[in-house]
């Protein structure tokens, strides 16, 4: 998202708005992860058979909200990448971005990464702000 200058919601944004996209998404993922871990610890400390109803309810609500955010952001990102590069929909016209983001998110992420990075020439970089090695020219 940051490589393409998109916001954490997958929308195009001015350069200043996209500078923190990686940090915002990373913070959301970490907060969700730690929240669910703490709920697991709370559930284990009460004994699984004596767990208060609010613990699984909170975990369920957090999971649903995080899933909705993930699908929405990926759907908007795919939609905006298609618009930017004039890539037409081929299947499920009008719903292709949603269907692909919901049922095959890993494929969508790989497709966008391959389309926006030249990995044959430049190495990718794990957990970097734009997924590329430092000083790699942006294709965007």
Give the CA angle between residues 22, 27, 32 to the nearest 5°: 130
Residue 71: its pLDDT value, please? 96
Residue 61: its pLDDT value, please? 96
Residue 115: burial class (beta carbons within 10 Å; 0-12, 13-18, 19+): middle
Range name among 13-27, 67-81, 110-124 with the lowest pLDDT average: 110-124
What is the residue extent of each domain of the chain? 15-116
Q: pLDDT confidence of 138, banded at 50, 70, 90?
A: low
Residues 47 and 135: their CA atoms lie apart, in Å, by 52
Residue 79: its pLDDT value, please? 93
Residue 125: its pLDDT value, please? 72
**Which H, E and C letters describe the chain, residue by residue?**
CCCCCECCCCCECCHHHHCCHHHHHHHHHHHHHHHHHHHHHHHHHHCCCCCCCHHHHHHHHHHHHHHHHHHHHHHHHHHHHHHHCCCCCCCCCCCHHHHHHHHCHHHHHHHHHHHHCCCCCCCECCCCCCCECCCCCCCC
Residue pair 12/28 in contact (Cβ under 8 Å)? The answer is: no
Structure tokens at 133: 């090695």
Residue 16: its pLDDT value, please? 74
Residue pair 8/29 in contact (Cβ under 8 Å)? The answer is: no
Q: What is the pLDDT of residues 43-98, one digit of tens each?
A: 888 877 788 889 889 999 999 999 999 999 999 999 999 998 888 988 888 899 99
Average pLDDT value over all residues in the chain: 86
Residue 4 has pLDDT above 90, yes or no: no
Q: pLDDT confidence of 113, banded at 50, 70, 90?
A: confident
Residue 13 has pLDDT above 70, yes or no: yes
> Which of these, 75, 68, 64, 138, lies nearest to 108 by C-alpha position?
75
């Amino acid at each position: 998202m940051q490589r393409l200058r998109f916001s954490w919601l997958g929308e195009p944004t001015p350069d200043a708005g996209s500078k923190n996209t990686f940090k915002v998404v990373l913070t959301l993922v970490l907060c969700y992860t730690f929240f669910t871990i703490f709920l697991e610890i709370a559930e284990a400390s009460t004994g699984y058979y004596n767990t208060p109803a609010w613990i699984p309810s909170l975990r369920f609500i957090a999971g649903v909200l995080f899933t909705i955010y993930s699908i929405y952001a990926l759907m908007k990102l795919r939609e905006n990448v298609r618009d930017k590069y004039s890539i037409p929909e081929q299947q499920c016209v009008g719903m292709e971005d949603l269907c692909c983001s919901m049922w095959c998110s890993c494929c969508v992420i790989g497709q966008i990464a391959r389309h926006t990075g030249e990995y044959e020439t430049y190495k990718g970089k794990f957990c970097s702000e734009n997924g590329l090695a430092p000083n790699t020219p942006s294709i965007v």
